[in-house]
């Protein structure tokens, strides 16, 4: 990625001369958002490492155990699902740690990523609702409800897909230690020794040996799982992963920034705007909402929607349909500009691209189905 980063810097220096694009403007438009993104990713990675070091993932996974078992997913996916209600970035960090350790396969990683659709959307639902309600009023609840149903549908579809593609996870006996640690295998060996002692009425000395082995393992585990040791292990693992996180995320973000300011995305937006004849089922007054949804963030589209609603000639149904269509058409830009730089910090670029394409592709399909359903039923 370093050669790509150097080439991107050349592009920026060529297109943005000091007269046109000052260092202050570059800092506010590129440096501050990139710093905010890297800080959020680093915080999520640190949380994931702490949860892993303290072995709390197994307890968190119990919150989503019924759904993860129904989808034939391991405890890791359940823990990431529960963690995504608080921080989707930390959930991705947890999945990345387990995948790099070889504890989940690529197929399980893909399904676990799709499985987090509902909690990842619920994290942003209050913000979206509070942003839309002052502008649109009651139609805001309808729009947020439709997008929420689409997110729930993606998670349910992933459960069905997991049942078709994955084998059921074998139920392991409950042990005092997490199943993915060497202490669990030692404890199973101890249980086998105890069974031998019971079944064959062996010498009492074997029972004494088994008891001493158990006490030794417990003392070692308590020392290993102590908060201080766990914090040191988490910080050490965090320090190992941080250069990779910055080394992939920063160049990807700068590349997207350069493409945006060179007009690549603007040209794509103009092409989509000029070829919206197939949207004849929408009123002409709401076409500006879709164009602004493509060209800018949701706020600009909401401003146009509120203005069109107050001017008359359109109904709340037309506004909701326009926002849904704009949300669908902006999927490629959202995937490239926002989600891909974040994923490249946790996964290899090729794997990150596949995860983003699967995530946003399923999102677009679910939103399209909800839009068609609402159009037919309203």
Contacts of residue 237, Cβ cutoff 8 Å, sequence gap at least 6: 49, 52, 53, 97
What is the reported pLDDT for 182?
Answer: 45
Angle between helices 88-100 and 32-54 (to 10 degrees): 60
Distances in whole angstroms, Cα of residue 373 to Cα of each of 149, 150, 216, 248, 300: 11, 11, 62, 40, 26
**Model-level pTM greater than 0.75?**
no
Q: In angstroms, what CA-CA distances link 261 with 14, 37, 144, 222?
A: 12, 19, 31, 54
Residue 268: per-residue pLDDT: 60
Q: Residue 210 corresponds to which tokens in the numbers above?
A: 């088994």
pLDDT reported for residue 69 = 87
Secondary structure letter of residue 262 according to DSSP: T
Q: Where are the alpha helices (DSSP H) in the chain?
A: 2-15, 23-26, 32-54, 57-61, 65-70, 75-84, 88-100, 106-115, 117-136, 138-165, 182-199, 204-224, 227-261, 264-274, 287-295, 298-311, 316-329, 331-334, 340-344, 349-377
Spell out the per-residue pLDDT of the chain, length 378, in tens: 445 445 445 544 544 444 445 777 778 777 887 788 778 777 777 776 776 666 665 666 676 788 888 899 988 888 888 888 878 888 888 899 889 888 899 999 999 999 999 888 888 888 788 778 877 888 889 999 999 999 999 999 999 999 999 988 776 554 444 444 444 554 555 555 455 555 444 555 555 555 655 565 555 554 445 566 767 777 777 777 778 777 767 776 777 677 667 776 566 656 655 666 666 677 777 777 777 777 656 766 777 777 777 667 778 888 899 889 888 888 877 777 778 888 888 898 899 999 999 999 999 999 999 999 999 987
List b or e across 216-249, with b for residues whose CB sees 16 or more CB atoms inside 10 angstroms.
ebeeebeebbeeeebeebbeebbeebbebbeebb
And the tokens for 355?
A: 């995860």
CB 174: neighbour CB atoms within 10 A? 6
Token pair of 333 as six digits: 């830009």
How many CB atoms are located within 10 Å of the residue 372 CB? 11
Q: What pLDDT, on the 0 to 100 scale, is given for residue 367?
A: 94
Q: What is the pLDDT of residue 36?
A: 80
The tokens for 374 are 């609402």
């Amino acid at each position: 990625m370093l050669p790509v980063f150097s080439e991107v810097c050349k592009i920026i220096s060529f297109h943005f001369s000091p007269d046109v694009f000052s260092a202050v403007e570059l800092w506010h438009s590129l440096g501050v958002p990139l710093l905010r993104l890297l800080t959020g990713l680093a915080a999520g990675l640190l949380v994931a490492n702490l949860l892993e070091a303290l072995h709390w993932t197994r307890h968190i996974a119990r919150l989503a155990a019924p759904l993860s078992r129904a989808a034939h997913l391991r405890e890791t996916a359940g823990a990431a699902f529960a963690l995504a209600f608080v921080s989707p970035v930390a959930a991705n960090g947890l999945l990345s740690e387990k995948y790099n350790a070889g504890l989940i396969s690529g197929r399980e990683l893909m399904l676990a990523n799709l499985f987090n659709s509902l909690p990842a959307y619920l994290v942003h639902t209050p913000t979206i609702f509070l942003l839309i309600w002052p502008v649109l009023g009651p139609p805001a609840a309808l729009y947020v409800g439709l997008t929420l149903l689409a997110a729930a549908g993606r998670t349910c579809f992933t459960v069905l897909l997991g049942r078709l593609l994955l084998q059921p996870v074998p139920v392991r006996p409950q042990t005092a230690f997490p199943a993915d640690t060497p202490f669990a295998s030692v404890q199973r060996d101890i249980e086998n020794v105890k069974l031998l002692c019971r079944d064959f009425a062996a010498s009492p000395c074997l029972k004494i040996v088994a008891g001493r082995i158990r006490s030794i393992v417990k003392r070692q585990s308590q020392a290993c799982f102590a908060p201080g040791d766990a914090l040191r292990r988490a910080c050490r693992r965090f320090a190992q992963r941080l250069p990779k996180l910055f080394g992939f995320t920063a160049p990807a973000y700068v590349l997207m920034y350069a493409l945006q300011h060179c007009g690549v995305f603007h040209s794509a937006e103009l092409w989509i705007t000029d070829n919206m004849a197939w949207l004849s089922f929408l009123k002409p007054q709401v076409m500006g909402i879709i164009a602004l949804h493509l060209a800018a963030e949701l706020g600009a589209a909401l401003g146009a929607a509120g203005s069109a609603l107050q001017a008359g000639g359109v109904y709340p149904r037309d506004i909701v349909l326009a926002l849904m269509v704009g949300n669908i058409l902006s999927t490629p830009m959202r995937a490239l500009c926002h989600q891909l730089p974040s994923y490249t910090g946790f996964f290899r670029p090729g794997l990150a691209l596949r995860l983003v394409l699967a995530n946003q592709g399923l999102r677009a399909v679910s939103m399209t189905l909800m839009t068609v359903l609402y159009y037919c039923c309203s």
